[in-house]
A and B are shown apart, each in its own frame.
Chain A
Amino acid sequence: MKYRLDEFIGGRPWKFTYDRPVIGLDLGSRASKGVLLTGKDIFVTLIATGLYMQETADELIEKLLVLANVQRSEIGFITSTGYGRIALSFNDIPFDVVTEISCHAMGAHALYPEARTIIDIGGQDSKAIKVDRTNGMVVEFAMNDKCAAGTGQFLEKAAVLLGITLDQMGTYALTSKSPAIISSQCVVFAESEVISLRAKGARVNDSEAVANIAAGIHYSAARRVSNLLGRIGTEPELIFTGGVSNNPGMRHALEELIGNSFIPTTFDMIYAGALGAAVYATQHAARGTAVSSASFDKQHTATTHINELIEQEQRAFIDKTDGRKKGRLFLRLYTAGSA
């Protein structure tokens, strides 16, 4: 897909340019997104994340090059983010990694600089991010815990339980007049709630029951996400990014709970992370920073000796039991022999 930058920014100046095209990759748990940025166009593409991150990344790059009709050697910089950001390497193009938190903030900021608070819901996690309006940097963030409540995964599971697609679930939810109450914050428990609600509803009117349950699911997930927002404070303007941002049911539930509406976006915000990565790529290319494995692991010789000393003492502590056991064993043998 190709967009002209001015479709989004109008006559506003665009500060994120580099003299060569750059690429931003966002390798998600489900879908991987790529953005190629030239001075005036944005190319986007999306594929399912494969088993091997490097292959997924290579495929994305290949697609972007074809789309933009650009040679690989012309690419000035690649910045990667998301799930598989760590495992990548490119030996022909300068490359670095930035977290998805910073990338989503930057991606949203680049096109919608009025945004101050970002909600990003992806397959595996959800985040609330406060962004500095002057430069797109993250000011504060909160991220969900390792459980799936309030993520795309949760919605996906629920859709399967209802026997409808994820897309259907979002639209269904909007038709509900009395959303079911799903109190569980935990997918496993919510699942059984959905099952029992379904069993009840089936007797009355199936499609209405499904709509109510679908809405209930979205509210349950949205509550979780709005809790995150509570931790950093909600400052309008709000913007919704990530794969779940295209789900109208979720958007509606969140707006209801937060009591605020999201900035309408014409750019598909599933690409916000990849776009942010591409913006970082222009900045890093200009600064000439490539991946730096800044690490401090050389152990000072002064402290190596101490490890040995500790081990020695710990062994001595243990050895004594061995001695005692040997002693006991000896005693037993002795008594057995004399009997």
Chain B
Amino acid sequence: MTKPMDEKRVGYFCAYTPLEVLNAAGVGHARLLKAGDSETVAAGELFTQSVFCDFSKSCIGGFAQGDPFYSAVDKLYNFHTCASMKRVTELIEGFVPVKLLNLPKLRDLESSRLFFRDEIFELKRDLFELIGHEISDSYIREQIVRYNILRKLIKNISELRKRDNPPISGKDFVEPARAFYYVPPEKLIDTHDKIYRALSAVSGAGSRPLRLMISGSIAADGDRRLLDILEGEMGARVVVEDHCAGLKPFYNTVKETGDPLLALADGYLDQAPCTRMKTLQDNVNFAGQLAQEYQVDGVLHVYLKFCSCYGITKKPFLNHFQSIDIPVLDLSSDYSGNDYGQIKTRIKAFIEVINARRSKKNGSNTICRRCTG
């Protein structure tokens, strides 16, 4: 259903943006999540330094190139997540009105929660200016309930992948997951419910494929290279994602009672953490737990080149996977596409390592732990 012409459109980048407030405001909203091609990245690089990650360059590049989806935005809201995205958000001010909000990173502190609540209040107040009418608390609460239903549905769809022979590939799972950011919940709940039921009914027969988890930096829309190689070419299956464009944001739900803004502050701070949040150990532990929960044979820990967060925090992740005896491939990536062959070689070798390990079941400890590329 097309929105009325005069409806405002809001864009955002990060999974720490409380969609409940946006939806309650009745604005059209979308996550600006495209992985740009080399031209978009180059367009973005005119504004940034070369050492920004390709995703942040794509974000500003999309605006600079006049991507119609990005240009449609009446206002961009973004939370200060990482330094690159903060700077990029500020630069986008040259294209569309921008509101930069703060995201406290110290999750353990009570004061962080109150502070984040204030920031969400500020988001609500600013939206009021944009749309010209109040957003009632009860309406926000209603949205919390709706989004929770969706989160649970997406998580349930994901959990079907715990079967020995998952009824849905990693590449297909991306679709219901990303729909969350474009399709309003009132439309999506029904669709997702159908998807879940259809997939549940798929027979579980068949052999167990090689099961993998992708962990690390954002896997933006269009950045499907790894999935193509892993599933399309190698016949392995990505059964779970520990990144913010996969299962991760749907792992937990938001409290449905009490002050809705505080519930959102808690809910978003308590979502499966990103490495930008403290403590890092929470994130590391979560990644390990997720890998075990989905019984993966190996993990690809991927970071976008020059990422100031995932690039620097990879060591504790690699060590942790190693300590729980899950082989891990350390991979850096960008949007240039010219390293396809190299990435493929590393992945294939990693799969050879896992297979060798699997065939040598009686478990000696000379077995692969970590591969870096």
Contact = CB atoms under 8 A, between A and B. Distances in A.
B237 A305 contact: no
B302 to A, nearest CB: 14
A197 interface: no
B342 A310 contact: no
B179 A310 contact: yes
B342 A125 contact: yes
Interface string B3-29: 101010100000000000000000010
Interface in A136-168: 137-143, 145-146
A98 interface: yes
A318 interface: yes
Contacts of B72: 317-318, 320-321
A296 B231 contact: yes
B203 interface: no
Contacts of B235: 292-296
Contacts of B83: none
A141 B167 contact: no
Contacts, number: 157
Given A138-B353, A305-B191, A319-B2, A101 B345 contact: yes
Given A101-B349, A296-B209, A310-B178, A142 B371 contact: yes
B176 A303 contact: yes
Interface in B334-373: 338-339, 341-342, 344-346, 348-349, 352-353, 356, 360, 364, 366-373
A61 to B, nearest CB: 23
Contacts of A142: 371-373
Interface in A311-339: 313-314, 316-321, 323-324
Nearest to B356: A137
Interface in A81-118: 83, 86, 98-102
Nearest to A131: B366
B349 A294 contact: no
B21 to A, nearest CB: 18
Interface residues of A, number: 50
B175 interface: yes
A288 to B, nearest CB: 16
Interface in B214-239: 231-235, 237
Interface stretch (B141-149, B194-202, B270-278, B288-296): B194-202
Contact of A141 (B9, B30, B175, B349): B349
Interface of A: 83, 86, 98-102, 125, 132-135, 137-143, 145-146, 228, 231-232, 292-297, 299-303, 305-307, 309-310, 313-314, 316-321, 323-324
Closest 6 CB pairs of A and B: A294-B235, A137-B356, A101-B349, A302-B198, A142-B372, A99-B349
Interface of B: 1-3, 5, 7, 9, 28, 30, 68-69, 71-72, 167-169, 171-172, 175-176, 178-179, 182-184, 187-188, 191, 194-195, 198-199, 202, 209, 231-235, 237, 332, 338-339, 341-342, 344-346, 348-349, 352-353, 356, 360, 364, 366-373
Given A100-B345, A125-B342, A300-B167, 5 more contacts: A137-B360, A141-B373, A143-B373, A300-B198, A309-B183
